[in-house]
Structure 1
Amino acid sequence: MELILASGSPRRSEILSMLTLRYRVQTSHVDEAEILLKMPQATPRELVQRLSSAKSQAVASQLDEGLVLGADTIVVLEDQIYGKPVDEQELRHMMQAFSGKTHQVFTGVTLTQATGRHSVSLTAVTDVTFRPISDEELEWYVTHANYGDKAGGYAIQEHAALFVEGIQGCYYNVMGLPVQETLALFQLMGTSWRVFGS
């Protein structure tokens, strides 16, 4: 059986490779904005589960066999959802909002069996606390950080590590793929992640 990652995220690929799992990448082309518009009252947990499921099932529908892993990550602060910033101005707004506060990172993961389209989903939540960020540090961050494809405009393992005062929960969830929830999906599907071990 083949494992397919329905994401072009290099961080998710990095985590699967770290776990020595054999997989290939086939990105979905799900319109996330369209799904979000249809779910205006959804909770963060419902949103990431719906998006990860949509990505996983979209790729599974193109296959005859295999297990498809989809994932979606959002950042939430005081009931406001932060996705990927579209420009430097939005990035500044996000980082100023996170400065000196604790926000939550939600990641939904879904595993879909291409044969029969059976799916299982789980969600991880991690609290991330940023120390206060000065204006000078913020401008440095905006100039140096790679933020375009990252929920909340930051990667915990890159430049934003300078601002992280502490986390409570799964570190890999903040990177975009919670390890324990991902491994648990295989068990829920009636198989083992070891099947895909290299």
Structure 2
Amino acid sequence: MSAQLIPIEPPPSYEDARKSPIPDSKSPSGTPGARKPPPGPPPPLNLPYLNDLRKQRVVLASASPRRRQLLAQVGLHKLDICPSKFAEDLPHSLGALNYVLETASQKAMDVYKREIDNEEKGEPAIIISADTIIVSHDGRILEKPRSEIDHIGMLKMLRDQGEHKVMTAVVVMRPLETAVNPGYRMETHVEETTVKFDATATDELILAYVRTRDGNDKAGGYGIQTAGSILIESIEGSYDNVVGLPLRSTLRLIEKAMEPEEDLDDDMDNMFDGKAYED
């Protein structure tokens, strides 16, 4: 997959994709020919919850161009980019799963508190945040490299250990109009992908890649969607997750968060039906 995540060419027709010419009914000569797709980019996904969101304010709590590009693939082009100011300094002793989930949750909460009463832009329809970490084979949490030396050492370690895991936590927050505590709905998910580095990647190749600066701003120090793919032998799991946002899982969270509020009220009522309380 190329670095350009947003298709710039119109999609082929099914006939073109199969390379099976069919008679063109509009051709005066009746000669066989493939029907051409309409010009322009492919239409966005026609799903009710996405159609609603395209008319509202969708806040992405991240400055990552990769996450923005991935969301554009499902038609969420008009994003309000409001990067979180959370320090991302939680202790690694929390463990990888808790660390990445709590970081993403704190990012979402930070932006929620700043944007919920935005008089100029209005209340967000939803807030999407994410955090991606690398977990080495020996359990260490790796984030973005701090220097060229750190970058080289990080990639050599990942090569020498063979496999590592990419974990991305996604959080979708939706402010509620009702008085249901705590005033918002939060849906979360952590995706995990196993990445196998090329054991034959030389030190010279790693140094050459580091000096492209492609991996400077990426967890683990490489980009699978760019030149960093030369270091990867295979993956097991979601490719989008390694890029920085597991799109399939993110769509599920958005759909869940966008459920009508009366459904949430019914769920709360059902929790208390028939229950007796004792002192």
TM (normalized to structure 1)? 0.89
Match of 2:139 in 1: 79
Contact 1:154-1:160 within 8 A present in 2 as well: yes
Please list, as runs of the form range in 1=range in 2, the aligned pairs for 1:50-129 lying within 5 A after superposition. 50-62=102-114, 63=116, 64-77=123-136, 78-100=138-160, 101-115=162-176, 116-129=183-196
Letter in 2 for 1:61: K
- CA shift, 1:105, in A, is 0.1
1:79-114 alpha-carbon deviations (Å, 9 max, x no partner): 011111010011011100111511000000001123
**Any idea what SS the aligned residue of 1:124 has?**
strand
CA distance in 2, matches of 1:112, 1:159: 34
CA distance in 1, matches of 2:197, 2:98: 25
Match of 1:17 in 2: 72
Amino-acid identity (%): 31
Contact 1:155-1:175 within 8 A present in 2 as well: yes
Match of 1:161 in 2: 229
| Matched length | 188
CA distance in 1, matches of 2:158, 2:94: 22
- CA shift, 1:148, in A, is 2.3
**Any idea what SS the aligned residue of 2:134 has?**
strand
- CA shift, 1:66, in A, is 1.8
1:102-160 alpha-carbon deviations (Å, 9 max, x no partner): 10000000011234232111010000101122011111112113222210011101111
Q: Which protein shows a greater Rg?
A: 2
Match of 2:87 in 1: 31
Tell which has more relative contact order, 1 or 2 (C-alpha 8 A, sep 6+): 1
TM (normalized to structure 2)? 0.64
Match of 1:130 in 2: 197
CA distance in 1, matches of 2:108, 2:59: 9
Letter in 2 for 1:11: R
Letter in 1 for 2:127: V
Letter in 2 for 1:58: D
**Any idea what SS the aligned residue of 1:86 has?**
coil
**Any idea what SS the aligned residue of 1:92 has?**
helix
CA distance in 1, matches of 2:245, 2:81: 15
- CA shift, 1:41, in A, is 2.6
Contact 1:51-1:72 within 8 A present in 2 as well: yes
Select the structure that is richer in strand: 1
CA distance in 2, matches of 1:53, 1:28: 11
Bigger mean CA deviation after superposition, 172-181 or 108-117: 108-117
Q: What 5-or-longer segments of structure 1 have no aligned partner?
A: 193-198
Contact 2:214-2:228 within 8 A present in 1 as well: no
Contact 1:104-1:127 within 8 A present in 2 as well: yes
CA distance in 2, matches of 1:19, 1:2: 16
Letter in 2 for 1:25: I
Match of 1:195 in 2: none
**Any idea what SS the aligned residue of 1:98 has?**
helix
- CA shift, 1:170, in A, is 0.4
